[in-house]
Amino acid sequence: MVAATDVATDLSAIRDLFSPEPGTAYLDAATYGLPPKPTFDAVQRAILRWRDGSADWVEEWDRVAERCRVLFADLIDSTPEEIALVPTVSAGVGLVAASLPAGANVIVPADEFTSVAFPMMVAEQWRGANVREVPLAQVADAVRPDTDLVAFSLVRSQSGEVAPLDDIMAAARANGARTLIDATHALPFVGVDGWLGEVDYLICHGYKHLLCPRGAGFMHVARRAQADVIPWFAGWRSGTPLYGRTYGGPLTLPETAAAFDLSLAWHSWAGALPSLELLAGWRRAGVLAPSIALATDLAGMLGRQPTGSQIISVPVADAERTASALAAAGVRCAARGGQVRLSCHVWNTREDIERAAAALADAGA
């Protein structure tokens, strides 16, 4: 485990890029991440140039997403040809769900985030899929030779619990099942640890821990799985050549995951680029690990087991009331699933988690 003090100098400079509300320990990146200064400035520029009509929308707002595609591919050790640009997790999951054959057998964990579970349940109601919900710890054991797809979050939204990835992936491999992973609450801190070559679909919205504006998301579609997904959302942005097809047929789509691109929320992607560039550098410099170290220390202060992620959740009698009490004490967190959820990121300090622990004690948690 890398201690936060090992990279104190680098983290001090990084923290200067963020502007959380004065007097507040912002421990709510799992709801939305804070924009670093270059990201905030990029969005402001985009809006100003939208206001006066001076922007080159292709170069400033749209083509920047192609650079984001490359950066995200590098982040998860994929290739740009396997990355689609999507606005939300449910859009990507829904595309997979809509492409399932009639009668497909799908496993999802009980209490899975609805952006993963609901599209599968829609496929059950309207396309005859069979969806089984089982406790997360039992997902691997539930996979059988007739299982077509296992869909789950790598890090659970409500608790920060890390899925038993090795067990689930090994079971999927042994039974020939496809896998779909929502990595929104995991990346860039928790990855798929060498399993990407066997992951069929990995979807991540960028507005949380990737520090992007909402509306910038990514979907890894393995080459072997691309023929199984129907590009129902095909439009001008997914046509080929890019920027060369606007009207009429025939249907011409790239032979890559770009066939699944959706039209972009331009200003979001203008802001996504600097965030992803910064994260790529921080990852290389090793300054992301201390966020998990802080969460581990916070778990210890609260007498809880660390989750292995940057998220710690505390069960309480009244989550909304406790979160409000913490807000009054200058700690920003979230109430999720009967728990108070606290999530660390690079701007957080030891003082932040000490304040959170004290505020939870004062609230009787």
What would the pLDDT profile of 85-100 be if each residue is shown by its tens digit?
Answer: 999 999 999 999 999 9
pLDDT > 60? residue 7: no
Q: Are residues 344 and 204 in the same domain?
A: no
The C-alpha atoms of residue 201 and residue 293 are separated, in whole angstroms, by 29
pLDDT given at position 313: 96
C-beta of residue 346 within 8 angstroms of C-beta of residue 279: no
Q: Are residues 172 and 30 in the same domain?
A: no
102, HSE (Cβ side, Cα atoms, 13 Å): 3
Q: Are residues 259 and 340 in the same domain?
A: no
C-beta of residue 189 within 8 angstroms of C-beta of residue 291: yes
Q: What's the rounded mean pLDDT across residues 108-126?
A: 97
pLDDT digits (tens, 9 = 90+) for 230-242: 999 999 999 999 9
Checking DSSP bridges between strand 339-343 and strand 25-26, what pairing results, if any? unpaired
pLDDT given at position 365: 73
Q: What's the rounded mean pLDDT across residues 243-271?
A: 96
User: Domain ends where: 240, 256, 280?
Assistant: 280
pLDDT > 70? residue 21: yes
Q: Structure pTM?
A: 0.94
Q: Are residues 217 and 189 in the same domain?
A: yes
Residue 50 domain flag: no
pLDDT > 90? residue 245: no
Residue with tokens 């079971």: 171
The C-alpha atoms of residue 271 and residue 345 are separated, in whole angstroms, by 18
Q: Which domain holds residue 303?
A: 4-36+286-362
C-beta of residue 364 within 8 angstroms of C-beta of residue 37: no
pLDDT > 50? residue 6: no
Query: pLDDT-derived band of residue 10, with 50, 70 and 90 as boundaries?
Result: confident
Q: CA geometry: angle at 279 spanning 275 and 281, to 5°?
A: 120
pLDDT digits (tens, 9 = 90+) for 123-178: 999 999 999 999 999 999 999 999 999 999 999 999 999 999 999 999 999 999 99
* Best CA proximity match to 10, nearest among 276, 347, 309, 271: 347
* Of 202 and 4, the one with more pLDDT: 202
Q: Are residues 275 and 316 in the same domain?
A: no
Q: Are residues 183 and 256 in the same domain?
A: yes
Number of structural domains (the chain) is 2
Q: CA geometry: angle at 269 spanning 11 and 25, to 5°?
A: 35
How far are the Cα atoms of 94, 179, 202, 245, 250 from residue 253, in angstroms, in the given order? 20, 24, 21, 10, 10
pLDDT given at position 208: 98
Q: Are residues 100 and 169 in the same domain?
A: yes
The C-alpha atoms of residue 315 and residue 337 are separated, in whole angstroms, by 9
CATH number at residue 310: 3.90.1150.10
Q: Are residues 325 and 345 in the same domain?
A: yes
Residue 51 domain flag: no
C-beta of residue 364 within 8 angstroms of C-beta of residue 35: no
Residue 31, exposed/middle/buried by CB under 10 A (0-12, 13-18, 19+)? middle
Q: Are residues 86 and 228 in the same domain?
A: yes
User: Domain ends where: 280, 314, 331?
Assistant: 280
Mean pLDDT of the chain: 95
* Best CA proximity match to 76, nearest among 163, 267, 206: 206
